[in-house]
Chains A and B, each alone.
Chain A
Amino acid sequence: MSSSVAHAEHHHKETFLSKYVFSMDHKMISKQFLITGIIMGVIGMAMSIAFRLQLAYPDTSFPILEWFFGSKWAPDGKLDAGYYMALVTMHGTIMVFYVLTAGLSGTFANLLLPLQIGARDMASPFMNMLSYWFFLLSSIVLLSSLFVETGPASGGWTIYPPLSALPKAMPGSGMGMTLWLTAIVLFIVSSLLGGINYISTVLNMRTKGMSMTRLPLTVWALFLTAVLGLLSFPVLLGGGLLLLFDRGFGTSFYLSDIYLGSAGALEHTGGSPILFQHLFWFLGHPEVYIIIMPALGITSEIIAVNSRKPIFGYTAMVISLMGIAFLSFIVWGHHMFITGMNPLLGAVFLVTTLIIAVPSAVKTFNYLATLWRGNIRFTNAMMFAIGLVSFFISGGLTGIFLGNATLDIQLHDTYFVVGHFHIVMGCAAIFGMLAGIYHWFPKMFGRMMNKPLGYIHFWFTFISAYLVFFPMHFMGLAGVPRRYYAFTLLPEYGVWFDVNVVMTLAAILGGIAQIIFLYNFFSSIFIGKRSGTNPWQANTLEWTTPEERIHGNWPGEIPTVYRWAYDYSNPAYEEDFMMQNVPDEGVEEELFETPKTKINKTSKKPKTEAVTLFTLIKNWLKPNTI
């Protein structure tokens, strides 16, 4: 085909720069996202250990902190109260945006979308490259704020004005906040460039036979994630720009009736701080699903592959993903039940919030049904996928408490919230990401990761994560507020003293476990066992590409797809898997001329789908023939 010839032509011109740095190859870009994400993750985690030390040992001198942060931020080896806030803020920002949005979606959307739908690259490789470079630039700007005189942004990752709008309200709202906003603007640009690309790739570049109903669930999840990002990130962009105006140009979008101890009565009048919160959470809540949906998609794929069973209820899985994606736009107010928002609105958000638990529950039950009577192989990826499901259950259930406005009056901004979102969104999404790394490492580097080390990594991380975050629910139920530098305000907080010690030590244990992972990851790139083309005996198209990972993905024709992605252990076949590109006798010619029912009759595979809603979608989005 002409496209493959064209690829062969510019193949030999690659230099080091064009291959590894300014690469437009989606696989290289995905590695760039991944490694940047891992670096940001290490920084974010180190920060969390630093402030957990403060929480567990509020009066102890840690010379290492002074050595690391300098005597300004950690005088006598004790974190400064303002810098504690700064670390909390930066930890949140880095983890939410830089690791779990860009690091997770960026890596796997780039790697998997073209490979799993059978495309040679993204719809726009250049935009794809730009997306990474904006992300990198954004990361550098954000990290540079650690070195400004007044310290990085420290008003919490939600940067509520007026605190974040007034440089005189706290040191972190000075230069650090400006850099934070700049970094986020760059980040949004990166995210939009990527998102548009992912959407157009999935809609336009599917190979012959790859209808929307045959897409692997990873692709569905990443596709819907991109849609969410595309619709919600611009709102934060707008909100952030207005905040910049309030900070720099004297406007009053969010400011009104303020008297500052250090500046007297301000001129601002007529603005509303609540407006910012609406704009922020209009992104902020979909953002939670932007984080978790790719992880759920990855888990669906990995659980099916390693249980050697089709994912249970493919249609239900896709519908619930769509349901989550839609509902995530109308629940943002549950972050604001008691912010002074009209109580009537609160009641509405209470209803929508609890509805979103239904599709989440369906997904969980479907995972369990997939495991049932499977033939489970505990690969490293499978362990993390199971861990994800466990976190998703634990954290999802506590969400029912927080989504209920009445109970939120008591639990809002306590450690219950910290425990909840770290388990359901933090740990679950990180586990999804790690599962994805272990599973697709062979596709990225052509080598396998060290399995025993992966097991150690899993068990240490899994246990320490529960040890850190589970006790937080109890603290929250006892009314201990989050974002406290030290628990000295009330004597009753003293009883949580040793619990905090346990949590901190568990966090350190978790940190050490990540060192194992880092060693495993980077050493396996060079000394891992060669993987072969399909090490997991999986069905999807990425495992049909050669081990060498060439530009353009397939040396010859792009394979044609003949079946859905989950024909595992189908009794019609001898093997326990049947790849998507393997034709059934006498079917390929009439694939698109014959109606769906006829295909089912001629193929040996039993009827697996009750396609009613999807027939509509399928007709609407006809697969692309290259």
Chain B
Amino acid sequence: MSIIIKNPVKLLFVLFGLFFFQNSQAYKNKLTRPIDGIEGTDELIKQGSELFSANCASCHALKGKVVGPALEGVIDKYEEDYAWLNAWIKNSQKLVKSGDERAVAIYNEYNGQAMNIFENLKDEEITSILMWIDNGGDGDSPAANTDESLNSNQPVFNESLFNNINWAIVLLSFLIFLIIVMIFGILELVSNVTGREVINWNNINAFMMLVFLIGFFGLVIYEYNIHSEFLLPESASEHGIEMDKMMKWTWVATLPVFFITQFLLFFFSFKYRQKPGRKAYFLSHNNNLEYVWTLVPAVVLAILVSGGFKMWNKILRSDDSKNAKQIEVFAYQFGWNARYPGNDGKLGKANYNLINGINPLGVANRNHANELIKELQEDIYSMENTISKLPKELAKLKSALGGRVGDDHEAHLRKIDSYESGDVENDLRLTIRARNTQIERLTGALKINEGSMFTGEGDDDQVVQEIHLIKDQPIRLKFRARDVIHSAYLPYFRTQMNVVPGLPTEFTFTPIKSTEEMRAIKGDPEFDYYLICNKICGNAHFNMKMKVVVEDEASYNEWIKQQTSLFAEENTKAEDSEITTTEKEILAIN
């Protein structure tokens, strides 16, 4: 890293810090075995890599726990049982509810944090992900191998020698520190005994104030020099340009105040230090002076307020947003999706009750809703089944208690307790109630004719995992969250808006720099825009991003054509029969 070498002070800091470092391991490069009976090819591994970063990377890394466990070695563990692993990846909740022992154990180990459902992944796709994992990653995805990307920035040192020197430095500085403390302690004792100061602390500290002032300003300017090159380049959105201007003017208003007041503070401290025989100037107030320094900040702030007020309204309350193209951005723990309106140009309605593995955004579609109701009913049956088996389960647990020791024994006792106290049953019954409510709400929604959400507008919607925008065309992002509050942050577009469950939010902006142009500006051919999460949303909050591509209309059209519609093949079917058989059944039940 060039700045380390440029700045000797920092180099020292980094060297000191390196004492803590350990060697990073190099990755394997080759597959040594077939996965699930299929031999790995480069294409498959590449596909796996893409799927991994889109679906898995927010919660898993190859090494080290993120939210879920580290995946390195997962192949060794499940080599004999790919079928189970496949079922777990697709829908771990189903396995847990079916009472599968291994599944329950993992579920409990992670405190009841369930893995997301991936029923949308095909078997071959899952296999390709496993291949990529067994390959040890591809070595350049930052999310997948944090160790490599960070440690590669570090110069290499002879570890043992370096460690010894460091220990010596640490010990030495500690000794020096102790000696200083002792000297000062003795000085204080002497002055206590003799009754007069040995050192004129007042002058020393007054002088230090001056030194600090110079050092402080020096460091501020120095830091600006280094860090200004890391700051964001000119905004990639239209409103951002003006926002940057406002930022600049706020700097113009505040920086002089910063330098002048800090200067006066430390300079006065130095200049008016106590001197023998001097008396302070008695001055209790001066109204004119006080009026001045009340009114001047007030006027300056009023100017800033009016500018900010105007621009705020322009950005967030403008009428242009109604004419802009819109897409939906959907946040969940821990990832993003986007939904494009398809051919009809309209985003279909969506509801959280409709979410499942094949419809992650809960877009309204009659057939899907009916399928889902069936699925939920099956769920309820299986849970009721589990409840009826609980006494048997408890007896089995009790008989398995013997022979366990230590923590294992404790954990087993706690498990028995959760059965005996009725917690397990209670949980299941609450879930059943929630499922019943969900079915009720869905059937209710299906019955409505006027203002129904099942308009069919959503059938051609395209759910994608990266956003493509057309340069110079305003875009209206409509935000929806699945579970908790997230925040969609697009720093290069000077855009941010929280994504709140139950409260639709939106933001309209116009991208004015394509990805290619920004790459040229940054001098980084690898650069991409990203939408990242900026509101604490759980353990993998730091690992939530979605790629944003800004391009010309032609390449956008090329891309959007390739995206499949959510319910494309069912489109015609749904129109044919207004009320399907399942619906009739449900109506009969009600």
Q: Are A489 and B250 in contact (CB under 8 A)?
A: no
Q: Are B435 and A340 in contact (CB under 8 A)?
A: no
Known contacts A409-B315, A498-B14; 12 further A-B pairs (Cβ under 8 A): A60-B22, A259-B482, A263-B114, A267-B437, A343-B316, A368-B261, A378-B269, A378-B274, A453-B184, A456-B181, A478-B231, A488-B150
A350 close to B (CB within 8 Å): yes
Q: Are A498 and B223 in contact (CB under 8 A)?
A: no
Residues of A within 8 A of B284 (CB): 310-314, 566, 608-609
Q: Are B274 and A409 in contact (CB under 8 A)?
A: no
Q: Are B502 and A258 in contact (CB under 8 A)?
A: yes
Q: Are B285 and A610 in contact (CB under 8 A)?
A: yes
B153 close to A (CB within 8 Å): yes
Q: Are B491 and A56 in contact (CB under 8 A)?
A: no
A344 close to B (CB within 8 Å): yes
Q: Are B111 and A150 in contact (CB under 8 A)?
A: yes
Chain A 342-390 interface residues, beta-carbon cutoff 8 Å to B: 343-344, 346-347, 350-351, 354-355, 357-358, 361-362, 364-369, 371-378, 383, 386, 389-390
Give the docked Cα–Cα distance between A364 and B297 (Å).
Answer: 12
Known: A168-B112, A405-B308, A474-B231. A529 touches B192 (CB 8 A): yes
Give the docked Cα–Cα distance between A413 and B499 (Å).
Answer: 14
Chain A 553-587 interface residues, beta-carbon cutoff 8 Å to B: 566, 568-571, 576
A272 close to B (CB within 8 Å): yes
Give the docked Cα–Cα distance between A375 and B570 (Å).
Answer: 86
Cross-interface CB contact of B243 among A409, A499, A609, cutoff 8 Å: A409
Cross-interface CB contact of A397 among B201, B254, B501, cutoff 8 Å: B254
Q: In the complex, how many residues of chain B place their beta carbon closer than 8 angstroms to a beta carbon of chain A?
A: 154
B497 close to A (CB within 8 Å): yes
24 CB-based A-B contacts, threshold 8 Å: A163-B485, A163-B537, A259-B353, A259-B483, A261-B114, A267-B437, A362-B294, A368-B261, A368-B268, A373-B281, A378-B205, A383-B205, A393-B257, A405-B308, A407-B246, A409-B494, A413-B535, A459-B208, A474-B228, A483-B541, A488-B149, A489-B143, A571-B279, A610-B285
B309 close to A (CB within 8 Å): yes
Chain B 268-320 interface residues, beta-carbon cutoff 8 Å to A: 268-269, 272-275, 278-287, 289-290, 293-294, 297-298, 301, 304-305, 307-309, 311-313, 315-317
Binary interface encoding of chain A residues 318-346 relative to chain B, with 1 for a CB under 8 A from any of its CBs, else 0 = 00000000000000000000111001101
Chain B 502-546 interface residues, beta-carbon cutoff 8 Å to A: 502-503, 505, 526-527, 530, 532-545
Identify which of A12-20, A74-82, A227-235 touches chain B.
A74-82
Q: Are A479 and B290 in contact (CB under 8 A)?
A: no
Q: Are A310 and B283 in contact (CB under 8 A)?
A: yes
B82 close to A (CB within 8 Å): no
Q: Are A569 and B184 in contact (CB under 8 A)?
A: no
Q: Are A309 and B281 in contact (CB under 8 A)?
A: yes
Task: Identify the 7 closest CB pairs spanning chains A and B, nearest first.
Answer: A479-B491, A256-B502, A262-B114, A452-B184, A484-B542, A373-B281, A343-B316
Residues of B within 8 A of A39 (CB): none
Identify which of A27-35, A154-162, A240-248, A284-292 touches chain B.
A154-162
B67 close to A (CB within 8 Å): yes
Residues of B within 8 A of A160 (CB): 485, 535-536
Chain A 161-200 interface residues, beta-carbon cutoff 8 Å to B: 162-163, 166-171, 174
Give the docked Cα–Cα distance between A400 and B496 (Å).
Answer: 19
* Minimal Cβ-Cβ distance residue in B for A169: B484
Cross-interface CB contact of A371 among B151, B180, B202, B269, cutoff 8 Å: B269
* Minimal Cβ-Cβ distance residue in A for B289: A369
Q: Are B484 and A479 in contact (CB under 8 A)?
A: no
Cross-interface CB contact of B3 among A310, A339, A451, A498, cutoff 8 Å: A498
Shortest C-beta distance, B167 to chain A (Å), equals 15
Q: Are A610 and B273 in contact (CB under 8 A)?
A: no
Q: Are B503 and A272 in contact (CB under 8 A)?
A: yes
Give the docked Cα–Cα distance between A168 and B216 (Å).
Answer: 48
Q: Are A166 and B484 in contact (CB under 8 A)?
A: yes
Q: Are B185 and A406 in contact (CB under 8 A)?
A: no
Give the docked Cα–Cα distance between A136 and B146 (Å).
Answer: 42
Residues of B within 8 A of A613 (CB): none
Q: Are A568 and B232 in contact (CB under 8 A)?
A: no
Q: Are A163 and B484 in contact (CB under 8 A)?
A: yes
Q: In the complex, how many residues of chain A place their beta carbon closer than 8 angstroms to a beta carbon of chain B?
A: 155
* Minimal Cβ-Cβ distance residue in A for B250: A401
Q: Are B316 and A357 in contact (CB under 8 A)?
A: no
Give the docked Cα–Cα distance between A373 and B282 (Å).
Answer: 9
Known: A171-B113, A265-B434. A59 touches B535 (CB 8 A): no
Shortest C-beta distance, B196 to chain A (Å), equals 13
B75 close to A (CB within 8 Å): no
Q: Are A368 and B265 in contact (CB under 8 A)?
A: yes
* Minimal Cβ-Cβ distance residue in B for A81: B539
Q: Are A407 and B17 in contact (CB under 8 A)?
A: no
Cross-interface CB contact of A354 among B146, B202, B257, B304, cutoff 8 Å: B304
Q: Are B285 and A59 in contact (CB under 8 A)?
A: no
Cross-interface CB contact of B230 among A56, A309, A474, A519, cutoff 8 Å: A474
Q: Are B497 and A343 in contact (CB under 8 A)?
A: no
Give the docked Cα–Cα distance between A374 and B352 (Å).
Answer: 67
A201 close to B (CB within 8 Å): no
Q: Are A162 and B484 in contact (CB under 8 A)?
A: yes
Give the docked Cα–Cα distance between A323 and B13 (Å).
Answer: 45
Binary interface encoding of chain A residues 204-248 relative to chain B, with 1 for a CB under 8 A from any of its CBs, else 0 = 000000000000000000000000000000000000000000000
Cross-interface CB contact of A491 among B142, B223, B261, cutoff 8 Å: B142
B65 close to A (CB within 8 Å): yes
Q: Are B269 and A56 in contact (CB under 8 A)?
A: no
Q: Are A400 and B301 in contact (CB under 8 A)?
A: yes
Q: Are A386 and B113 in contact (CB under 8 A)?
A: no
Chain A 25-69 interface residues, beta-carbon cutoff 8 Å to B: 56-62
* Minimal Cβ-Cβ distance residue in A for B528: A490
Chain B 19-47 interface residues, beta-carbon cutoff 8 Å to A: 20-22, 24
Give the docked Cα–Cα distance between A294 and B353 (Å).
Answer: 51
Chain A 472-512 interface residues, beta-carbon cutoff 8 Å to B: 474, 477-479, 481, 483-492, 494-499, 501-502, 504-505, 512
Residues of B within 8 A of A470 (CB): 219-220, 223
Residues of A within 8 A of B542 (CB): 81, 483-489
Give the docked Cα–Cα distance between A351 and B303 (Å).
Answer: 11
Residues of B within 8 A of A546 (CB): none
Give the docked Cα–Cα distance between A495 and B65 (Å).
Answer: 24
A203 close to B (CB within 8 Å): no
Give the docked Cα–Cα distance between A347 and B307 (Å).
Answer: 11
Q: Are A390 and B485 in contact (CB under 8 A)?
A: no
Known: A375-B272, A406-B315, A497-B1. A57 touches B293 (CB 8 A): no
Q: Are B309 and A347 in contact (CB under 8 A)?
A: yes
Shortest C-beta distance, A61 to chain B (Å), equals 6
Give the docked Cα–Cα distance between A495 and B522 (Å).
Answer: 13
Shortest C-beta distance, A395 to chain B (Å), equals 11
Known: A259-B483, A274-B500, A350-B308. A450 touches B21 (CB 8 A): no
Give the docked Cα–Cα distance between A18 and B552 (Å).
Answer: 79
Known: A368-B264, A389-B265. A338 touches B497 (CB 8 A): yes
Q: Are B297 and A358 in contact (CB under 8 A)?
A: yes
Give the docked Cα–Cα distance between A170 and B114 (Å).
Answer: 10
Q: Are A373 and B280 in contact (CB under 8 A)?
A: yes
Shortest C-beta distance, B373 to chain A (Å), equals 12
Give the docked Cα–Cα distance between A160 and B151 (Å).
Answer: 35
Q: Are A61 and B22 in contact (CB under 8 A)?
A: yes
Q: Are B495 and A409 in contact (CB under 8 A)?
A: yes
Q: Are A407 and B332 in contact (CB under 8 A)?
A: no
Residues of A within 8 A of B111 (CB): 149-150, 171, 174
B188 close to A (CB within 8 Å): yes
Q: Are B304 and A273 in contact (CB under 8 A)?
A: no
Cross-interface CB contact of A170 among B66, B113, B254, B264, cutoff 8 Å: B113
Give the docked Cα–Cα distance between A407 and B251 (Å).
Answer: 12
Give the docked Cα–Cα distance between A82 and B333 (Å).
Answer: 14
Residues of A within 8 A of B301 (CB): 354-355, 357-358, 400
Binary interface encoding of chain A residues 416-454 relative to chain B, with 1 for a CB under 8 A from any of its CBs, else 0 = 000000000000000000000000000000000011110
Give the docked Cα–Cα distance between A126 and B497 (Å).
Answer: 49
